[in-house]
Amino acid sequence: MADTLYHPESPDDLMPRELRAEQGREPAIQARGLRKTYKASNGQPAKEALKGIDLTIPQGSIFGLLGPNGAGKSTFINILAGLVVKTGGHASIWGFDIDVNPRQARGSIGVVPQELSIDPFFTPAEVMEMQAGLYGVPKSERRTMEILRAMGLEDKADAYARTLSGGMRRRLLVAKAMVHNPPVLVLDEPTAGVDVELRRQLWDYVKSLHAAGTTIVLTTHYLEEAQALCDQIAIIDKGAVIACEPTETLIGRLNEKKLILRPSSPVSELPAALSGYKSEINANGSISINYNPAEISTMDLIAKIGEAGIEIADLSTEEASLEDVFLHLTSHGEPG
């Protein structure tokens, strides 16, 4: 892959001409009471995949859409992309209602799907040209080679897709989603199955798109990615939004910290002073203690350990992570 990726210079480079004058300050995506029920078939009961989703995704954000497998994330995305027909409710993209203005709504969004679905007998250049034709992009305005170059696929432009590696196919899907310069880009598990270096380069490119005005919607199972990239996160579980907040606020939901200390001398059992806390002796000999700072300060906890006769050689603390919040919410089903 190329060492550097293309960095767009202007928001006007990133959206169709007919949308630039329409953007205003409408939300990038808005859903109100969005429902989807799959009918019973083949002996399987009916399934309510979305249970009245209310969600507002602001323009210019990097928005995380998280949830366990089967939570309804893909159904939500596929409704926006026009691939699944909703059962009820309303949704709009860049101010265009998906029912009233379906062409404009679909022209406002690019979706990078989770599945590596590419015809093996087409070349990347052919895939790009065919996709541009489907979106009505005039030949004079197509940027096939420019986008393939940005994704490090210029030298594979005329190779059959079946010869591409999994990482290359993933990049081709991102390129395909950008052929019509959509102002909203949805990335559904874009780094699944790619190596660390490609993941870094892909995020550098996504950040450059965002800096130039593209709204990014991200689903990922790499929660550290969402925590590092997203300024707002919604968590969907069992077809309902159970949390939707700025990332820092969401992480702040858990008033739990972890104190990790290394004793000067090995200990064989935890002191009685720690019996009221979630604590354990780790394999490396350190002691981990989970505690609520609102109930006891770090200094008071350290004092308790000292009173128990444990001499501390080193210590550190850890804040709650997005993974902690995610597991807490989805395990208990607590509404946000």
Helix and strand numbers, DSSP H then E, in the chain: 11, 14
pLDDT band, residue 192 (cuts 50/70/90): confident
Which of residues 327 and 335 earns the better pLDDT score? 327
* pLDDT confidence of residue 10: 38
| Residue 271 phi, psi (nearest 5) | -70, 155
Q: How far apart are the first and last CA of the chain?
A: 42
Each residue's pLDDT tens digit, 41-88: 888 888 999 999 999 999 999 999 998 888 899 999 999 999 999 999
Beta carbons within 8 Å of 28's beta carbon, 6+ residues apart:
57, 58, 59, 60, 61, 63, 93, 94, 183, 184, 215, 217
Higher pLDDT: 222 or 6? It is: 222
Judge whether residue 7 has pLDDT over 50: no
* pLDDT category of residue 14 using cuts at 50, 70 and 90: very low
To the question of pTM greater than 0.85 for the whole model, the response is no
- Predicted local confidence at residue 170, as pLDDT: 82
What Cα–Cα distance (Å) separates residue 227 from each residue in 53, 233, 249? Answer: 23, 9, 11
Does the structure show a pLDDT above 80 at 255?
Answer: no
Within 10 A of 66 (CB to CB), how many other CB atoms are there? 25
Which residues on neighbouring strands pair with residue 105, listed in sequence order? none
What is the per-residue pLDDT for 12?
A: 40
- Strand, coil or helix: 29: strand
Whole-number pLDDT of residue 144: 94
Strands (DSSP E) contained in 86-163 are 88-93, 96-97, 109-112
Note whether 181 and 12 are within 8 A (CB): no
pLDDT tens digit sequence for 141-166? 999 999 998 888 999 999 988 888 87
Any idea what the Cα angle at residue 249 is, between residues 55 and 200, rounded to 5°?
80
CB proximity list for 288: less than 8 A, separation 6 or greater:
258, 259, 260, 279, 280, 282
311 versus 193: the higher-pLDDT residue is 311
What is the share, in percent, of the chain residues with pLDDT greater than 90?
A: 39
**What is the set of domains in the chain, with CATH numbers?**
11-247 (3.40.50.300), 257-319 (3.30.70.100)
Helix (H, G, I), strand (E, B) or coil at 317: strand
Under 8 Å between Cβ of 246 and 315 = no
Whole-number pLDDT of residue 129: 94
pLDDT of residue 45: 87
- Separation CA 90–CA 327 (nearest Å): 30
For 61, other C-beta atoms within 10 Å of its C-beta total 18
Average per-residue pLDDT in the chain? 84
Q: Phi, psi (5° rounding) for residue 9?
A: -95, -25
Alpha-carbon distances, residue 153 vs 9, 57, 285 (angstroms): 21, 31, 49
pLDDT digits (tens, 9 = 90+) for 96-145: 999 999 999 999 999 988 777 788 889 999 999 999 998 889 999 999 99
pLDDT score recorded for residue 248: 86
